[in-house]
Amino acid sequence: NAGVMQNPRHLVRRRGQEARLRCSPMKGHSHVYWYRQLPEEGLKFMVYLQKENIIDESGMPKERFSAEFPKEGPSILRIQQVVRGDSAAYFCASSPPVGPGNTIYFGEGSWLTVV
C-alpha cells in the first residue's frame, strides 16, 4: 500500500517561472492537505481539499498560489511567478474521510529552490 506520493522531490526554478507540485494521496484517502515548511520554521497549513472542492484555503497566500484536486489524477499545488521567498519544502498529506480520530499521513515533500 503506497504512501502519499509527491513529485518532483526537488525542483529548481528561476524567479518568475511557474512551479507545479503534484501529490497522489494514499489509496482510499479522499482528503488532501498542503503544508509549507520554511527554513528554520515549523509546518504551516496552506490548504485542505477534497475531490473537486477546496474546503479551507485560509493558509494560502492571496496571490500566485493555487491548488486543485481534480476528480481524476493527483492534487496540484501551483505557484506562479515564483520569488526567492517561495523556496521551501512543500508537504502533501492525506487522510480518510473526515473524523477526529483519523490520522493524517505525510508525503516525502517537494523541495522548491528559486534561484
Whole-angstrom Cα distance, residue 106 to residue 113?
20
Whole-angstrom Cα distance, residue 76 to residue 92?
10
Q: Cis omega before residue 8 (within 30°)?
A: yes
CB count within 10 Å of CB 34 equals 27
Residue numbers 72-111 binding another protein by CB under 8 A? 91, 93, 95, 98, 100-101, 103-109
Identity of the residue, 17 or 22, whose beta carbon is nearer to another protein in the bound complex? 22
The residue written with cell numbers 522531490 in the block is 9
Per-position x/- string for 1-40, each x denoting binding to another protein as judged by CB under 8 A, each - no binding? ------------------------------x-x-x-----
Whole-angstrom Cα distance, residue 32 to residue 45?
12
Residue numbers 39-78 binding another protein by CB under 8 A? 41-45, 48, 55-56
Please report, as ranges, the residues that interact with another protein according to CB under 8 A: 31, 33, 35, 41-45, 48, 55-56, 91, 93, 95, 98, 100-101, 103-109
